[in-house]
Amino acid sequence: MKTAAAISAVVLFLACGCGYGQDQADSRPHVSPPELTILKHAFGSDHRFVTESVPQSQRGGEPATRIVSKGFMSVSVKAKNNTTKRVVGISWYFIFTNQKTGENIFSMPFNTPVDIASQQSRTFKAEIERLPKPARAVTVEELKNPVKPAPEERIVVTCILFSDGTSSPLNEAARPDCQHLQASTEIRKKIEKP
């Protein structure tokens, strides 16, 4: 598990600037291999209906249930497949970056099964249970000026998996992300058998 975390950190480091010569001052909000274009993304909240148990009455019997609306944070990404192959899986990161320093505040990795036909666009979503709060030192400048600019949101796609089993990594350091996609049982079911 520690190895996977270390590999993900290296991939993220390379994907967010150094791996392809991107200048932090000129960071792009969407980065992906050329076979996929990120058209837009949105971070917000969503709702879903869930069934929850109600405390059992003193008379006994079956516990009562009710349907309630439960809110959760989500990221939706609209992407276009630029190839002649069908895309079945995407490894990607949702990143918050400090606008002043270019420093990553946090990143969240996702492996998402998708079905994007050749030359078509599709929106996929990921659910976020909670945002991480990284520990960090507070500078004197931050204490003098407590107004913080809103963080910049970024989407970095590190690997695309196609229906024929081939993949396209963002760079060489992203190959482990491709291996994670290929190992996913849900995504592996989408790969066409020759």
Phi first, then psi: what are they for 28, rounded to 5°? -90, 145
Amino acid sitting at position 174: A
Contact assessment for residue 156 and residue 15, using Cβ atoms and an 8 Å cutoff: yes
List the chain domain ranges.
Answer: 2-188
What is this structure's pTM? Answer: 0.70
Query: Looking at the DSSP assignment, which residues form a beta bridge with residue 74?
Result: 44, 127
For residue 31, the tally of other CB atoms under 10 A from its CB is 22
Could you give the CA distance from residue 38 to residue 155 in angstroms, rounded to a whole number? Answer: 8
Contact assessment for residue 70 and residue 48, using Cβ atoms and an 8 Å cutoff: yes
Residue-wise pLDDT tens digits, 89-125: 999 999 988 777 778 888 899 999 999 999 999 999 9
Query: Looking at the DSSP assignment, which residues form a beta bridge with residue 156?
Result: 31, 93
Provide mean pLDDT across the span 146-173: 89
What local confidence, expressed as pLDDT, does residue 57 receive?
59
